[in-house]
Chain A
Amino acid sequence: METNLYRFVLKYAPVQTAVVCLLTLASLPLYYLSLEVPKNIFNQAILGKIDFPTEVLGVSFGRVEYLFLLCAFFLLLVIGHGGLKQYVNTLKGRLGERLLRQLRYELISRVLRFPLPHFRKVSAGEIIPMVTAEVEPLGGFMGDAIAQPLIQGGTLLVIVTFLFVQNPVIGLAAISLYPLQAYLIPKLQRRVNQLGKERVRAVRKLSDRIGETIAGVQEVRVHGSAAWERADFSDRLGIIYRIRFEIYQRKSLVKFLNNFLNQLVPLLFYSIGGYLVIQGDLTAGALAAALTAHKDMSSPWKELLDYYQQLQDSRIKYEQVIEQFMPDGMLDETLQAPVEGPLPRLDGAIELTNVSLIEDGNTKWLENLTFRIEPGEHVAFVGPAGGGRDFAAMLIARLYRPTAGRITIGGQDLLSMPETVSGLRMSYVGPTAHLFAATIRDNLCYGLRQRPVRPRERDAGDERQRRRWLAESARAGNLALDVEDDWIDWSAAGLQDGQSPTRLLVEILSTVDLTEDVYQVGLRGTIDPKARPDIAENVLRARAALQARMTDPELASLIETFHPDRYNANATLAENLLFGTPVGPAFDVDRLAENPYVLRVLDKVGLTEDLVWIGREVAATMVEIFADLPPGHEFFEQFSFISSDDLPEFQTLLARVDGRRDMSPADRGRLLSLPFKLIEARHRLGLIDDELKARILEARRVFRDDLPESARAAIEFFEPSSYNAAATLQDNILFGKIAYGEARAAQRVGRLIVDVLDELNLREAVIEVGLDYFVGVGGARLSQAQRQKLSIGRALLKRSDIIVINEATATFEAATQARLMDGILKACEGRTVIWVLHDPILAKRFDRVLVFVDGRLAESGGFGDLQRPGTAFTELIAAA
């Protein structure tokens, strides 16, 4: 990585920079002419200082024609100079943006090559703002880095030359104070630079502390230490304030000095120039021209000064960012480049020769390990905690680099193997797994994404566009592989031609004991019936099969099916009215009473008054039974239609409207909002009689018939014969509500649905929907156990030759752990397995046991052989 900003620019964009510079230089003569031509227009054409008619390129011109000829030339010049400038600006913009892209790419790709132990020293809170915010202003600067001083310096030079041509003394006067400025300004700037460095460091520490506080916010709240944290932040912000304000003051001092000195120059003109004019050595016109030209000088001079300050700023930013991205022991870049062609297998023996792992020069984790693991062998690594069993496994998984010694697989050096190869042919699962914020399927397949395997198919137009897109990536020095291609190498997972990948995933799920979880998730998932008409159709078949079973009177009482002409006592009043699932916020139950269309429908069938009356009854009941509870009591959340905050308001509202028919629209609105969540069978308030039900059904018809086309997308109606895209699979199969008040109804209905799906052979279809479940950030929507199982599944799916498992099942209870181990070891028959075990008894399942004590290999042998008196292994078992 280039440690200097200029070198970075020149290394990655030499040609573009040269083109920008050349074009910039080419514009300077045009600029000179644009100073020269107006002078000629004035002197020659307007004042008539030459003889007319005059000849230009063999054509003779009168005075007026000559004036217009010069003006036309001046116009061309302005267009030419402006056009060239615009073109150069575009080039510079592109250059800057590309370089910024390149810089960010370089930084991120360096993070991917950091030695893994380095991540214990740096935090995401420091790295993220460096890549995102800190380098952002460099983009604009890098485009200008070389062209800007050229163009402004060149412009200045042109003006100075022009002045010297007018009169050397005037020229000298114009630049007479530059040496002073050139001496003073860098001196002042030096302190600003130092402060700039301090500012970067302080801001970085601040973002690190913010990250830390967010990560530890539970502790802050639990210990009530928010005030201490605030004081700490206030202190840090104070430091940043002091630095920033001092920078501001010093920068403005530089500007002031510069302006002041510039103002002095006209003084010199007036005194020296005036003297010369009085002496007759200079014409008054020339002095006036010199004054005008000098005014033009101040703009490029100011630009140059700005550039200088910006350069110092950018240089510091660049250097301070770069130094954070050059830790010792970074992985060689070539080892991460995707390998072409078939990948070799790692089916040779693993050999460690005199391997040591020493951290920070003194902590010896492992010393002088020498052992061999045969291909296909199942080996357990055991030993006391801190004995090195986990480090030995992590060395083999390439998570650490040995400080000394050599690790080979099949004779090939592990450290010089491309990561593409070891990434696909070796898997590792640690004690805490990380999941990516994607679907279960994506997470399972993550281990198969080493390189693109099949290009994505596109039509010719899209393909051209995409190629241009990738070409731009290449121009900015980015990896030009297409993220939209198919990267999942199913053949590595052992997929046969014509086989469905889902089958493989289902097998893996069952090995890691996740089938039931994913199945349940699938039942609660939704699908787009247009994208998956097959699943939608099957769900409708399941719905029909369930309906058929409901002829059994015992089951019939468990579910109340949706019927277009019947009121469903187990559904809310809102569901009965809408007879569908709201999509988006338009018909959200909480705001139904404010929806103008719903209000119109209620008015049309004359329901409004009844619902207001029901609302009043509901409010009265709630006030009666909840009034004595303290505010915020959990009963409000669980049972009440009115929150504890709103209860007093309803209390006064009820007193206000007591016995009156005329109430304010606001009061009516509040009461009207209450009945929509009423579930007749659950709340048992006896407020919805048959006559009212009939009118709600009438409103249901009107709601549907009158629904404007624009609102059609805001609701998915319950249709007995079609799939409801807004509802879950389970709700689609159920097509009704589980009855309240039937003992164990939910469990019995759950079993019923499972039966129906199994009968129709739809288990896999549901699992497929479950595979598309989004696991949340870091897998937060799954339980810890599910995350762990999923990460084991991810390691097993790629059928690697070597599997390293580091206490990945230790958190499960004994029975689950035993079941998982047996399943995994069976699935890995014939492949090398290294399993770090917390509990030595579990080692019984393995061909060989390696015992690590104090960073050394103490014993190696079969489980039975090692269980002799006096061995370290026997001691371990006794201690367990």
Chain B
Amino acid sequence: MSIKEEVEALRSVPLFAKLEPAKLKLLAFTSQRLTFAPNQVLFHQGDPGDAAYIVLEGEAEVLIDTPQGPVKVAEIGRHTIIGEIAILCDVPRTATVIAKSRLVTLRIDRDLFFRLVNEFPQIAVEIMRELAHRLEKTNEQLRRAVSRAPM
């Protein structure tokens, strides 16, 4: 379990994929490797968002509170980022995340992340590109949904 492996994990996350290796290493070095036991909660829906997590090992479940109780909406596996929305904009957690098995994550602290972005604008550019890409995709989906809908 060395930092190299974490750098690899970061590289496979689209948000960070295009960053140069030294910056990824800095991000990994300043982040914390955190292990959760099965059924341990990473965060609750409505909590203030203080960090994003990248799954290094294991699986997690994403639950959303409904009037009928929590409903599982997704499962997350290796090299996925969780909670990145919370570190980019100041919103409470939109879902609860629970470790399904033994879950090893890399915890990226929100403040640390912002300081990195401040220091290295190219990170910000990469993130903008990725977000624009996502927006593009969402627009595409929306267009398709609208054209399919009955007039």
Contacts and interface: CB of A to CB of B under 8 A. Distances in A.
B142 interface: no
Nearest to A554: B37
Contact of A741 (B25, B28, B35): B35
B22 interface: yes
A685 B33 CA distance: 12
Contacts of A740: 32-33
Given A633-B119, A740-B33, 15 more contacts: A554-B37, A621-B25, A621-B29, A625-B22, A625-B26, A625-B29, A635-B30, A639-B29, A683-B29, A684-B28, A686-B3, A686-B4, A741-B35, A742-B34, A743-B35
B119 A625 contact: no
Contact of B2 (A627, A635, A684): A684
Contacts of A459: none
B2 A639 contact: no
Interface string A594-630: 0000000000000000000000000001001111111
Contacts of B23: 625
A737 to B, nearest CB: 15
Nearest to A686: B2
Given A625-B22, A634-B115, A684 B30 contact: no
Interface in B110-142: 115, 119-120
Contacts of B25: 621, 624-625
Interface residues of B, number: 24
A560 to B, nearest CB: 13
Nearest to A622: B29
Interface in B23-78: 23, 25-26, 28-30, 32-37, 40, 42
B98 to A, nearest CB: 12
Tell which of A685, A686, A741, A743 has the most Cβ of chain B within 10 Å. A743
A130 to B, nearest CB: 52
Given A628-B120, A635-B115, A684 B22 contact: no
A595 B48 CA distance: 48
A66 to B, nearest CB: 102
Tell which of B2, B3, B25, B29 has the most Cβ of chain A within 10 Å. B29
A628 B40 contact: no
A740 B35 CA distance: 9
Contacts of A639: 29-30
B34 A628 contact: no
A741 B37 CA distance: 11
Interface string B9-29: 000000000000011011011
Give the 3 A-B CB pairs with smallest separation, nearest first: A686-B2, A625-B26, A741-B33
B1 interface: yes
B2 A743 contact: no
Interface residues of A, number: 23
A755 B120 CA distance: 47
B36 A743 contact: yes
B34 A684 contact: no
Interface string A734-753: 00000011110000000000
Contacts, number: 55
Given A628-B22, A634-B115, A742-B35, A684 B6 contact: yes
Contacts of A633: 119
B37 A684 contact: no
B34 A743 contact: yes
A696 B22 CA distance: 30
A743 B60 CA distance: 15
A742 B99 CA distance: 13
Contact of B32 (A685, A686, A741): A741
Nearest to A633: B119
A432 to B, nearest CB: 34
B3 A685 contact: yes
A639 B34 CA distance: 17
Contacts of A626: 26
B67 to A, nearest CB: 30
A635 B23 CA distance: 13
A629 B29 contact: no
A516 B30 CA distance: 33
A742 B25 CA distance: 21
Nearest to B104: A741
11 contacts: A557-B35, A621-B25, A625-B26, A639-B30, A684-B1, A685-B2, A686-B3, A741-B35, A742-B35, A743-B34, A743-B40
Contacts of A683: 3, 29
Contacts of A743: 34-37, 40, 42
Contacts of A684: 1-3, 6, 28, 33
Nearest to B36: A743
A741 B34 contact: yes
A5 to B, nearest CB: 67
A635 B31 CA distance: 12
B50 to A, nearest CB: 13
A626 B23 CA distance: 9
A475 B37 CA distance: 75
A621 B30 CA distance: 13
Contacts of A629: 119
Contacts of B36: 743
A657 B6 CA distance: 29
A626 B115 CA distance: 13
A854 B46 CA distance: 52
A766 to B, nearest CB: 29
A743 B35 CA distance: 6
B111 to A, nearest CB: 10
Nearest to B26: A625
Contacts of A621: 25, 29
Nearest to B33: A741
Interface string A668-696: 00000000000000011110000000000
Contacts of B40: 743
A627 to B, nearest CB: 8
Contacts of A624: 22, 25
Nearest to A623: B22
A832 B119 CA distance: 63
Contacts of A638: 30
A686 B1 CA distance: 7
Contacts of B22: 624-625, 627-628
Contacts of B42: 743
Contacts of B2: 684-686
Interface string B62-102: 00000000000000000000000000000000000000000
Nearest to B1: A684
